[in-house]
Structure 1
Amino acid sequence: MFSVRRLNIGTAKRAFSTSAANATKVAVLGAAGGIGQPLSLLLKLNESISHLSLYDIVNAPGVAADLSHINTHSKVTGYAPDNDGLKHAVTDATIIVIPAGVPRKPGMTRDDLFNVASRFVSELKSTDPKNENIVVVGGHSGVTIIPLIFQSGSKFTDDELKALTHRIQFGGDEVVKAKAGTGSATLSMAFAASRFTNSLLRALNGESGVIEPAYVKSHLFESKGIEYFASNVELSREGVGKIHDLGPLSQYEKELLEAALPELKKNIGKGVDFVHK
C-alpha cells in the first residue's frame, strides 16, 4: 500500500508558479523497500521532477547513489534517520509518497491491492489491457473492493462475472502465492504509485481533466457514516478538485456495494482509532 501527500505550503505553491520541470521536489519515504526502490526508479525517469529525495531507516543513501547513475536531469539525495534525515528529506517537498510497510506473507489479511482489473478483463476477452477501463471503487480489502465492470461495456455470463470479481478482489493474494511467500505485489504497486504521482504533478502544474481513482475523504456515503471512499477523483492544484459519483451500477454491483459498506465502515473505524491513540 502507498500513500501520497501533497504539501500545501508556500514553497510548494511557489514551485508550481513557474515550471514543474524546474522546481519540483518529490520525497519518497520507505525508498529502500520492495515498493520504494522500483517506485524511486520510475520517478527518476520523470522529467517533471527536479529533485528526488529518498528516505528510509536503512539503505536509502545507497539507493540514491545507484539511481544517480541514471542520466536524467533530476538530482537524487538519500537520507537515514540520523542527523535529522527525515526533516531534510521532506523539507520543501511538493509531494511526499509513502510506500513504507512490510511484505505480505501467505495467509495474511490483504490490506493493499493494485488495481489489476483491466489485465484480468483483457485476458478473458482477448483485448488490449490499455483499452479496458475498469473503475474499482470502495476500499482496499476483500469485499470492500468493488469493480464496476458493467460500465466498461464488456459482456460476461453470471459465472464469469462472479469469478472475475473475486479475482479482482483477491488479486493481491494471487501475487503472494505466486511469489511463494517471498513478497507481495511490489512492482505493480510501484507502477500505480508512480502513475498517481505523475498525474498529481500534471494537475498541480495546471493541467485540467486529470482523473485518477483515489481513496479520499468523500461525501458519497457520509449519510451511512462512511467518511472515506475510493472513487474517481479529478485532481487539481488544491489536490482533490472533484469527487465523481459512481455512475450507473448493475444489480450485481449494487449488491456488492451493500455488502462492502459495513465492512468498509469497520476498516475506517480501525484506522481512525489507530490515529487517535
Structure 2
Amino acid sequence: MFLFGGIKSLTNISPRNVVVRNFKVAIVGAGGGIGQPLSLLIRRIPGIDELALHDLSDTKGIAADLSHISQWGRVLAFKGDEELEPALCGADVVVVAAGMPRRPGMERDQLMAVNGGLAIKVATAVGKASPGALLAFITNPINMIIPTAAEVLKAQGIFDPRRLFGVTALDVVRSEKFISDFMNISPNGVNIPVIGGHAGITILPLISQCKPGFKGTSEDIEKLTYRIQEAGTEIVNAKAGLGSATLSMAYAAASFVESLIRGLNGQEDVVDCAYVASELTDAPFFASSLELGKYGIKSYPPLPQMSDYENESLEKLLPILRQNADEGVAFARKCLKDISPIPAALP
C-alpha cells in the first residue's frame, strides 16, 4: 500500500530483525539545533554502516556520544571547510541541516544571502566527493535552495533530478498532527499528501485526500490549511525569536532519511513527499508524493483529483514557485565562476 508520509515508521524500527544493505549517511550541520537530534534519530535507522558528522565547530564529542549507543555502525567526526569533502566521500545520502534559522521579520532574500552560499558550497563538495549521493536539504528557504543546488550540480555536469531533495516532511508531520487533533484520533492513522513548496501559501495540504476522510466544514479546512502554512511562524514566536523548529524538524527529516534508505535498499512501495525537480506542473520544482527506489526517485505519482479550494490554491502558489526557481537559479549563476564540470558518469 502506498503511504503519503512514511513518517511514522521510526517508532517501529528494529535493526535486529531487518535484513538490509549497509550505507553511509553524512550530516552537514550535525552540531546544530536540528543536527544533533537528527543525528540521534538517524543513528536508530537500520542499514547505516557509517554516520559522518560535519560542522564548522568540532563534532568529536557528539560522535563519541553517539558511538556509545548500542546500534550497528560507526560514527565519525569532521570539522571545518577543509574536512567537508572527506566527510562526504563515498556517502550514499547527504543531509544538509546547516544554515541560519529564520528570525522574526527576516526577508527571504536575507536568509538566502547566507544559506544560499552554504548550499553552493555543499553541492560543489558533493559533486567532487560523492556525485552519486542522494542530496537532501533541510536548509531554508527550500523553494530557492533546491533550484540553486540543482544549478550547481548542472554546472559540474552531474545533475540527476532523481537524487536532489528539499525536505518538506515537516509539513506532512504537522498536517497529520493538526488533523488528528481536530478529529480526536491517533496521528498514526492519518495519511495526507502535502504539495507545492515549503513556505507560506506554497504549502498545500490536500485535506480532500486525507485518510481517513476529514470530518469538518470548508471553514475548518481553510483554518487548518492556514495553520499548517504558518506553523513555522508559530514556533518562531513561541521561542521568542530565538530559534525555529528544530526537534520536530529533526523528527520529520529522520523519517524522510529512513524512506530514502528503504528505497536504496530495494524495498517496494516506499512513498514520501519532497520538493524536487518536477514536471507535474509548470513550476520546475514542486513538492509532491514520490515513489523512492534504488537511485532516488523511482516515479512521480500524478496529482490526485483535488477540491475546488485546493485547485484555486494551487493556481495561486505556482507563480510563486516559478519566481522562487528563477531567483534560485540566478543566485547560483552569480557564484559559478570557479566551478568546472566533473567528468563522472552516474549509474
| Same fold (TM > 0.5) | yes
Where do 1:98-109 residues align within 5 Å? 98-109=96-107
Structure 2: runs of 5 or more not aligned: 1-18, 109-140, 143-167, 335-347
SS of alignment partner, residue 55 of structure 1: strand
Give 1:129's aligned residue: 187
1:252 deviates by 0.5
Q: Determine which structure has greater relative contact order: mean sequence separation of CA pairs < 8 Å that are 6+ residues apart, divided by chain length.
A: 2
Match of 2:85 among 61, 73, 87: 87
Q: Which moved more, 1:141-150 or 1:264-273?
A: 264-273
Q: Does residue 173 in structure 1 map to residue 230 in structure 2?
A: no
SS of alignment partner, residue 176 of structure 1: helix
1:149 deviates by 0.1
Match of 1:244 among 301, 313, 331: 301
Where do 1:218-233 residues align within 5 Å? 218-221=278-281, 224=282, 226-233=283-290
Give 2:160's aligned residue: none
1:103 deviates by 2.2
Give 2:344's aligned residue: none
Judged with a 3 Å threshold, the aligned counterparts in structure 2 of structure 1 residues 109 and 213 are, in CA distance, closer, same or farther, namely farther
Give 1:143's aligned residue: 201
Q: Deviations over 1:201-260 (max 9, x none)?
A: 111111111000011111111xx3x11110000001111110111101000001100111
Give 2:224's aligned residue: 164
User: What is the distance in 2 between the residues matched to 1:162 and 1:109?
Assistant: 25
Give 1:68's aligned residue: 67
Give 2:154's aligned residue: none
User: What is the distance in 2 between the residues matched to 1:238 and 1:171?
Assistant: 32
Percent identical among aligned pairs is: 46
Tell me, yes or no, if the aligned pair for 1:200 and 1:235 is still in contact at 8 Å: yes
1:108 deviates by 3.0
Q: Which amino acid aligns with 1:90?
A: L
1:75 deviates by 0.4
SS of alignment partner, residue 71 of structure 1: coil
Give 1:4's aligned residue: none
Give 1:213's aligned residue: 273
Q: Which amino acid aligns with 1:198?
A: E
Tell me, yes or no, if the aligned pair for 1:34 and 1:103 is still in contact at 8 Å: no
Give 1:78's aligned residue: 77
Q: What RMSD, in angstroms, separates the aligned Cα atoms of the two structures?
A: 1.6
User: What is the distance in 1 between the residues matched to 2:308 and 2:230?
Assistant: 21
1:150 deviates by 0.6
Q: TM-score, normalised by structure 1?
A: 0.87
Tell me, yes or no, if the aligned pair for 1:176 and 1:185 is still in contact at 8 Å: yes
1:143 deviates by 1.0
User: What is the distance in 1 between the residues matched to 2:20 and 2:327?
Assistant: 37
User: What is the distance in 2 between the residues matched to 1:59 and 1:182?
Assistant: 23
SS of alignment partner, residue 286 of structure 2: strand
Q: Deviations over 1:147-203 (max 9, x none)?
A: 100111213222211111100111111111111222111111111111111111111
1:109 deviates by 5.0
Tell me, yes or no, if the aligned pair for 1:118 and 1:134 is still in contact at 8 Å: yes
Judged with a 3 Å threshold, the aligned counterparts in structure 2 of structure 1 residues 175 and 109 are, in CA distance, closer, same or farther, namely farther
